[in-house]
Homo-oligomer: A and B are copies of this chain.
Amino acid sequence: MPRTAETASFKFNHTMLRVKDPKMSLAFYQDILGMDLLSKQDFSDFTLYFLAFNHEGKDLTAKEKEATRFSREGVLELTHNHGTESDSNFQGYASGNTDPGKGFGHIAITVDDVEKACERFEKLGVAFKKKPSDGKMKNIAFILDPDGYWIEVVPGVLNL
């Protein structure tokens, strides 16, 4: 049961990350991870991109994608502050995993076959923080998105 009636409608809708270059990020999240772009919101100084995995197997219209943006969980919001992509003085965003700036850790995707997913990532030129074969935990990996954010790759079924 939901813990209280007052919070029964609550959902963990999205996580927001700032990105330097939306072309690089969209190529990564759409073509390599396989997320769909649900919505693009243009403002004068910035643009927001909302992405999510389409599990339902339905082809959604643009209007349905837009409507689903706030009605589901597992949405990723990417914020692009205009100009960072071509600013040679821009230092890049903190990944959250080193000081100063430590706090945020990572996002994680579950996949049916970590080994196979990682072989494909490697072929597509994705940078790894930890390959499945590194370290003690053989069945998890960490890849890096174009800004250096860590993405954990874990099996979607846990063997208890």
Q: Residues on A close to B: CB < 8 A?
A: 1-4, 6-18, 30-31, 33-36, 52-55, 57-59, 63, 66-67, 69-77, 79, 93-96, 100-113, 116-117, 120, 147, 149, 152, 154-158, 160
For the complex formed, measure the closest distance between the CB of A3 and the CB atoms of chain B, giving whole angstroms. 4
* Chain B contacts for A75, CB-based, 8 A: 12
Contact of A111 among B2, B9, B35, B100 (CB under 8 A): B9
Are A67 and B158 in contact (CB-based, < 8 A)? yes
Are A12 and B109 in contact (CB-based, < 8 A)? yes
* Chain B contacts for A59, CB-based, 8 A: 1
Return the 8 tightest CB-CB contacts between A and B, nearest first.
A101-B101, A7-B34, A73-B74, A93-B103, A104-B104, A16-B105, A9-B112, A12-B74
* Chain B contacts for A113, CB-based, 8 A: 9
Are B107 and A158 in contact (CB-based, < 8 A)? no
Shortest Cβ distance from A95 into B: residue: B103
